[in-house]
Amino acid sequence: MGNWVVNHWFSVLFLVVWLGLNVFLFVDAFLKYEKADKYYYTRKILGSTLACARASALCLNFNSMLILLPVCRNLLSFLRGTCSFCSRTLRKQLDHNLTFHKLVAYMICLHTAIHIIAHLFNFDCYSRSRQATDGSLASILSSLSHDEKKGGSWLNPIQSRNTTVEYVTFTSIAGLTGVIMTIALILMVTSATEFIRRSYFEVFWYTHHLFIFYILGLGIHGIGGIVRGQTEESMNESHPRKCAESFEMWDDRDSHCRRPKFEGHPPESWKWILAPVILYICERILRFYRSQQKVVITKVVMHPSKVLELQMNKRGFSMEVGQYIFVNCPSISLLEWHPFTLTSAPEEDFFSIHIRAAGDWTENLIRAFEQQYSPIPRIEVDGPFGTASEDVFQYEVAVLVGAGIGVTPFASILKSIWYKFQCADHNLKTKKVGHAALNFDKATDIVTGLKQKTSFGRPMWDNEFSTIATSHPKSVVGVFLCGPRTLAKSLRKCCHRYSSLDPRKVQFYFNKENF
């Protein structure tokens, strides 16, 4: 437990702050709408569900502000570059961008459910109070004429006893945008499950772009002003604490109380999401501009097991080890972009990727390049973008673990190490990688093209970590993985188990590739 805290204290602190802000915003908004005199009459119709709906709406605004930031990949790459002088703990947080994106999405789903349920109760209360004929305060408030909208006198959005909840839902701005946003959110969340993303990536890719409808709907959701409160002028004239009990005398000339006037709650969602949306639009414009730059394919290699290697050139392209790019082939799909790790070294005069057949898009791409007498398909490239593997040279000892095609991120690293040793780079901290990555005396590897000692079969991780800890008792060891979750779980546990609580002794830091 102690080792886990040492490795993850900043992540835990960040999540606690984020959750704390959600709780604070919810409680603060709930108490405001539950206690404020401005909404005294509204509460007489709706009760506490008014506060629940408004509190969840505020949390939705807050999390919708955050949801786009973790997927601004150029922003993350910029922060990674500018934080090169920051501590390893701070830089590692950038590697959890997709995890945080998912957590924010789950929080949006939670508050969406609360918001919808609360408004279902609210509309039921609106409907019952509009149907009521008992002369209660709720029925009087609900009967305030909609013909006086310009004067701001109405409180209940249901205009007559014949108006149904369904009619108001699909004819009001708030109701219609709420339905659209809910459908978009359900489709995005369900299509983002692991199974769908792995097996039907196209479904995930297309449905995730429904976020455009979600963001637009959120921006205009509050324009209708369905949630209403008493105006300041009306409160000064007829304060609800004094006049609510004498509502039967509101129309009497001798009474000091007058009928209350109401106004819609001004829309606020757009204020929360404006800056992130502008930032995201700039991100997309930059990515579109870069993707339109010409890519020259210099070499095509078909490896065994249906692995395609593409070597390319692009003007102004600059990379670091472990980075990845997005690739689009317009002849296959105009809109689909797929991430691939760069397998070339920064020292080489080209950049390359290895593509394994794993789905319709990759199979079609490989098939297109296999056709000998057809022109080479046009490729568009966006990137490169940073990953955890960029920090590999910040460790004295690095353990690189790749499963299947997951070896590709480390091809770039191993090649770069070879070039650095050839050039006698004295700034290189790393002295040992994996088992014997620096011993170039065996057969040439199919991916890296390097001579390296290769051990086949699954390693005994406890033995490996124990050996590394014994051989390097005072080193900081970086463990890098590109592979499945089950393997990540095992390696993460080993990193915690074999890290010393004494910061002066061996420390294992786990890093996993995330796209």
Q: What is the CATH number of the domain that holds 296?
A: 2.40.30.10
Residue 513 has pLDDT above 90, yes or no: no
- End position of a domain, from candidates 383, 399, 427: 383
Q: Which of 336, 360, 383 is the last residue of a domain?
A: 383
Q: Is residue 331, in this structure, part of any structural domain at all?
A: yes
Could you read off the pLDDT of 287-301 as tens digits, one per residue?
A: 888 888 888 988 888
Residue 392 or residue 105, greater confidence: 105
Is 73 domain-assigned?
Answer: no
Asked if residue 326 and residue 351 are part of one domain, the reply reads yes
- Which range marks the domain in which residue 352 is found? 292-383
Contact 220, 177 (CB under 8 A): yes
Query: Taking the C-alpha atoms of 70, 213, 203 and 63 in order, what is their torsion angle to the nearest 10 degrees?
Result: 30
- 316 within domain boundaries: yes
Dig out the tokens for 215 from the structure: 């963001």
| 203-222 pLDDT tens trace | 888 899 999 999 999 999 98
Q: Is residue 393 domain-shared with residue 497, that is, in the same domain? A: yes
pTM: 0.79
Say whether both 394 and 505 belong to one domain: yes
Burial 180-206 (b: 16+ CB within 10 A, else e): bbbebbebbbebbeeeeeeeebeebbe
- Model pLDDT, residue 449: 53
**Count: domains in the chain:** 2
The pLDDT value recorded for residue 180 is 94
Give the dihedral sign, CA 444/446/450/455. Answer: negative
Residue 436 forms part of a structural domain: yes
Instruction: Please tell me whether residues 331 and 413 are part of one structural domain.
Output: no
Report yes or no on 484 lying in a domain.
Answer: yes
Best CA proximity match to 476, nearest among 416, 403, 404, 391: 391
Q: Judge if 359 and 417 occupy the same domain.
A: no
Q: 429 and 348 in one domain? A: no
Domain check: are 335 and 303 in the same one? yes
What tens digit of pLDDT does each residue of 249-272 get? 776 776 777 788 888 888 889 999
402 and 371 belong to one structural domain? no
Co-location of 319 and 335 in the same domain:
yes
Looking at the DSSP bridge assignments, the partners of residue 230 are 262
Contact 453, 439 (CB under 8 A): yes
pLDDT at 379 over 60: yes
Check whether residue 410 and residue 501 sit in a common domain. yes
Q: Are residues 410 and 373 in the same domain?
A: no
* Percentage of the chain lying above the pLDDT 90 cut: 21
Q: What pLDDT score was predicted for residue 407? A: 72
Indicate the average pLDDT of the chain: 81
For residues 146-167, give the mean pLDDT.
72
Question: Does any domain span residue 34?
Answer: no
- The amino acid that residue 405 corresponds to is I
Among 383, 408, 433, residue at a domain's last position: 383
Residues 422, 354 share a domain: no
